[in-house]
Amino acid sequence: MLEQKVNIVSHQKIAPDVFLLSFRSDYLAAKARPGQFVHLKPSGPWPLLLRRPFSINRIKGKNIFIMYRVAGRGTSILSSLPQGAELDVMGPLGNGFEIDKKYSDHLILAGGIGLAPMQFLADRLKTMKLNARLFYGCSGKKDLLPCAVPGKVIATDDGSCGYKGFVTDAFLSRINKFRTPVVYACGPWPMLKKTARICRENKIDCQVSLEAFMACGVGACQGCVVKGVKEYLTVCRQGPVFNSREIDWEQEATL
Amino acid sequence: MRNIRTKNNVDLSVEIAGIKMKNPVLAASGAFGYGTEYLPLVSPALFGAVITKTVTLLPRAGNVPPRIYETPMGMLNSIGLANVGVHRFLEEKLPELLSHHPLVIVNIAGNTMEEYAELAGMLNGQPGISAIELNISCPNVKQGGMAFGADPIQAVKLTTLVKKATSKPLIVKLSPNVSDIAAIARAVEQAGADALSLINTLYGMAIDIERQKPVLGNVTGGLSGPAIKPVALYNVFKTSRAVNIPVIGLGGIMTAGDAVEFMLAGAAAVQIGTAGFINPNTVKEIVNGLKDYCLKKKYPEVSQITGKLAV
Ligand SMILES: Cc1cc2nc3c(=O)[nH]c(=O)nc-3n(C[C@H](O)[C@H](O)[C@H](O)COP(=O)(O)OP(=O)(O)OC[C@H]3O[C@@H](n4cnc5c(N)ncnc54)[C@H](O)[C@@H]3O)c2cc1C
Ligand SMILES: Cc1cc2nc3c(=O)[nH]c(=O)nc-3n(C[C@H](O)[C@H](O)[C@H](O)COP(=O)(O)O)c2cc1C
Ligand code: FES
């Protein structure tokens, strides 16, 4: 974990309200694992208080990519920063996905901006010569986000592209094709909840990446918890990736 | 152990409640966890002393999430004293923190006065603990906390009881959610408090207008950060003039300038809470900034800032 000042190398809009930002960090490039995140803010004027957490979308050489959706004041300020602007970045934080070669198929399920951490994961699976597949759901064709993975299944709510319906249904309809699959999921709470149920019913191991409001990002404030089956779990330190069996899915979604 | 002073040397050490600290910048309870979460980013050794997250007799799960929310230049939290309980604290957390810093102040809370006293008694046998900070000011728990901090009679009873249970220096942490903080301060001073910390968070809330529901799972929370600095500063100013024991100031301190303001208003030391979440380097910057201020003002000792305010 390091805190450093970096400069924006590239910053572009890639879909309505969605941006792709990159900066150079030798440290993160060497240390980060798929599923980990950074806690960042502009290092110049920032009329807000807390940092904001973002998954690492991809690492290309020494460049770190963040893919984010404008959700409120912080992300809207972020989206206005020009190339060259300085960012203050803390990371890598969190635990990341656990990759185990014992599985025959590594299935990535993403909903909306939940796609953000998955390119890094897909890249890592590829380097490890593991069989990866992406199931990606979004509202419609115009909201499609880029992710380079072989064997993509796309689902859209309005049917404007690929399977018409939820990504979880697209996944369920193909579930018997895999021998010993593992699922990595990130997206809105209802989607994760459904994914967890499907995986439990079909005895599939499933890792989910969760979100929560964060202050410290390192496990010191106890602010970012979700309810686990036994106890509260800190999303920043014990997560953001959890085994889906660890989570109490009946709790009210907090985000 | 006085530092040898040369032209560019400032003695940053302070003595509070009989504890000599190498600098007057402390980690506030609840903001620095059990002292090691920020490793390797922030070494606990940078602080004059580390105050741990509130410890209770039994483990506490804390309140229903969401537990934090950002407000204009502040944050609301409703953590609810989530902690591992005193047994695991002593077994797992304290030794690790002590391996990084010899000056550890343990912040405690209980549901009843007896629980506070029992905790203080248990900690008394621990040589590694430099002092106890009594949390009678947490706005996020139903029992204990504010119930004892808002009423001078209860505060006196509790302080007297805890003082009897421990031979360690006792710091009492006060709440601004009262009509006259100086009255409470005088009362606990008479009951034997060796120092005071103020302020804890202010009651606050936020509403999600789409869902028409409170944002926090606990409905209300405690407000901290720069938004509360003027309130905290006023409380430190008012209280430090009303008592003869040292006052440790906190509430929205982000920079060395903020720390100087608190010391000018009467604080003998300061604590960093919310600022550390945003800028982990805060402690280093404040310690260095205090030194620069002393050099500029030609103060050989940092303690000379305390109470210098001209009114
Ligand atoms: C570990 C982790 C990784 C994340 N990775 C990404 C990512 O790669 N790309 C991306 O676009 N977003 C990601 N998020 C969500 C992102 O942090 C929030 O969208 C962002 O903090 C919102 O800030 P804001 O100031 O724009 O919104 P605010 O003004 O604070 O709030 C506006 C809206 O955003 C929602 N929001 C606020 N904070 C969060 C949060 N932490 N998580 C989810 N929603 C939030 C609020 O509910 C509110 O509706 C991640 C969150 C976590 C916890
Ligand atoms: C997330 C969080 C958790 C806190 N937990 C505690 C606690 O356990 N015990 C306590 O005495 N104060 C606790 N506090 C209060 C702080 O120690 C401090 O009094 C308050 O935040 C004001 O200082 P600040 O503005 O510098 O943060 C907490 C504050 C925050 C923000
Ligand atoms: S954000 Fe502080 S514990 Fe997770």
B33-52 residue pLDDT tens: 999 999 999 999 999 999 99
Ligand 1, CB cutoff 6 Å, lining residues:
A 37, 52-55, 67-69, 71-75, 113, 116, 211-214, 235, 240, 255; B 70
The count of residues in chain A is 255
H or E, element range at B131:
strand B129-135
Mean pLDDT across chain B: 94
pLDDT of B223 above 60: yes
The Cα of B275 is separated from the nearest Cα of chain A by a number of Å equal to 9
Pick A50's closest partner by Cβ from B66, B67, B277: B277
For chain A, say whether B226 makes contact (Cβ under 8 Å). Answer: yes
Interface contact B65-A212, CB threshold 8 A: yes
- Those residues whose C-beta lies under 8 Å from the C-beta of residue B229, and which sit 6 or more positions away, are B251, B252, B253, B258
Query: pLDDT-derived band of residue A254, with 50, 70 and 90 as boundaries?
Result: low
* Residues of chain A contacting B217 with CB distance shorter than 8 Å: 254
pLDDT digits (tens, 9 = 90+) for A177-206: 999 999 999 999 999 999 999 999 999 999
Annotated active-site residue B294? The verdict is: no
Q: Name the token pair of B290.
A: 């205090």
CB atoms within 10 A of CB A27: 16
Q: Between residues 229 and 248 of chain A, which touch chain B (CB distance below 8 Å)?
A: 231-232, 237
Interface contact A232-B82, CB threshold 8 A: yes
Measured from the alpha carbon of residue A119, the closest ligand is 1
Q: What's the pLDDT at B7?
A: 62
Q: Which residues of B carry a binding-site annotation for substrate?
A: 53, 77-81, 135, 200-201
Separation of alpha carbons A251 and A254, rounded Å: 8
- Looking at ligand 2, which atom is closest to the CA of residue B252? 25
Query: What is the pTM for the complete model shown?
Result: 0.95
Q: What's the pLDDT at A255?
A: 60
pLDDT of A145 above 70: yes
Q: Name the token pair of B53.
A: 């997250």
Q: Which of B143, B62, B77 is nearest to B109 (CA)?
A: B143
**Distance (Å) from CA B217 to ligand 2 centroid:** 18
What's the average model confidence in pLDDT over A20-41?
98
- Residue located via tokens 């003082």: B163
What's the average model confidence in pLDDT over B211-232?
97
pLDDT of B1 above 60: no
Q: Is the ipTM of this complex over 0.85?
A: yes
Separation of alpha carbons B10 and B301, rounded Å: 6
Separation of alpha carbons B239 and A135, rounded Å: 61
- Looking at ligand 3, which atom is closest to the CA of residue A222? 3
* Residues of chain A contacting B70 with CB distance shorter than 8 Å: 48-50, 213
Q: What three-state secondary structure class fits A186?
A: strand
Query: pLDDT-derived band of residue B292, with 50, 70 and 90 as boundaries?
Result: very high
**Catalytic position from the list B134, B136, B138, B287:** B138
* Secondary structure, 3-state, B205-261: CCEECCCCEECCCCCCEEEECHHHHHHHHHHHHHHHCCCCCCEEECCCCCCHHHHHH
- Tell me if B48 sits within 8 A of B25, measured CB to CB: yes
pLDDT digits (tens, 9 = 90+) for B105-149: 999 999 999 999 999 999 998 999 999 999 998 777 766 667 788
* Residues of chain A contacting B31 with CB distance shorter than 8 Å: 216, 220-221
Q: What's the pLDDT at B138?
A: 77
Separation of alpha carbons B183 and B177, rounded Å: 13
The Cα of B62 is separated from the nearest Cα of chain A by a number of Å equal to 8
Separation of alpha carbons B46 and B23, rounded Å: 9
Pick B68's closest partner by Cβ from A223, A232, A237: A223
Residue of B nearest to A52 (CA): B278
